[in-house]
Amino acid sequence: MGKKYTGVFVVVCTAFDDQGKLDESALRRHIRWLVDDCKVHGILPCGSTGEFAFLSEQERKWVVAITVDEVKHQVPVIAGSAACATAEVIEYSQHYQDLGVDGVMVVPSYYGHLSQDELYYHYSTIAKNVELPVVVYNNPGTSGSDILPPTIARLAEFDNIVALKESTGIMQRIVDINLLAGDKIEVLCGCDTLALEMFAMGVAGWIAAPANIAARQCVQLYHLMVEQKDYPRAWEFYKKVRPLFDLFENSGQYVALAKAGLELLGRPVGLPRKPLLPASPEMRAQLKAILDTF
């Protein structure tokens, strides 16, 4: 299987106005900047950084519809369709297919600490009922369930389970999955502090939250490491941008940071939705100091 999801896919922020309602013009403006000016390779609405868990069903569908309309097939749109119940994931995915997305990404049911058999049932049932390509999102830090390599290998037998966003930070997983599943499933970087290392391991796709505010830098790292295979230049560049990735990964405040960063760049998309809080003054100062070096 050839690599399908190569390059930098941005987990886009969901834009809100001053009343906390969805802001269509700000969302369109943000997407247009990422695609036209920053030359990202893909857009991912309703991911974790898109605050999908804090949106209503109607809002989630609206965000995806606006995203598809604004992107206009310039780059792939992979929509987050995660939910706790398997049937609900299928319903979202089928609706997104009707809207014209290019694929869906699904983090495990984020309440329940699922067993490996339950995880296999969840994703295999989705695969059987959804025609779209499915990206499995392994993030035990948010979902409470770790999809182990043998389970990934079982799921790779489904033709439409095409990729895995691997966010555990365990580099051994890349080798384990490759040994068990071969080229039946594509591993994507889901740990921003390991982007260069995962590129060096043969990973060619990165689903990145920091790309909301540093898309050009993320694309440049991909260009140097994957396309040009210029490791010395990639390493020097990585050292300059790594503090931003550290701040995102180590604080866990990726929504607040992305939105604060966009405000600092003069491209505001509103505040996080409660219960999420805006970045603290101290974190904003850290973020500004990093952005000022770019």
Starting at the edge strand found earlier in the chain, the sheet holding 161-166 runs 42-44, 7-11, 205-208, 186-189, 161-166, 134-138, 103-106, 78-80
Note if 96 is an active site residue: no
Catalytic residue among 5, 92, 137, 222: 137
Catalytic residue among 5, 61, 165, 222: 165
Please name the residues in contact with 143: beta carbons below 8 A apart, sequence gap of 6 or more. Answer: 107, 108, 109, 110
Instruction: Locate the DSSP E strands across the chain.
Output: 7-11, 42-44, 78-80, 103-106, 134-138, 161-166, 186-189, 205-208
Q: Which of 93, 188, 96 is nearest to 138 (CA)?
A: 188
Note if 165 is an active site residue: yes
Joined tokens for residue 186: 């594509």
Catalytic residues: 137, 165
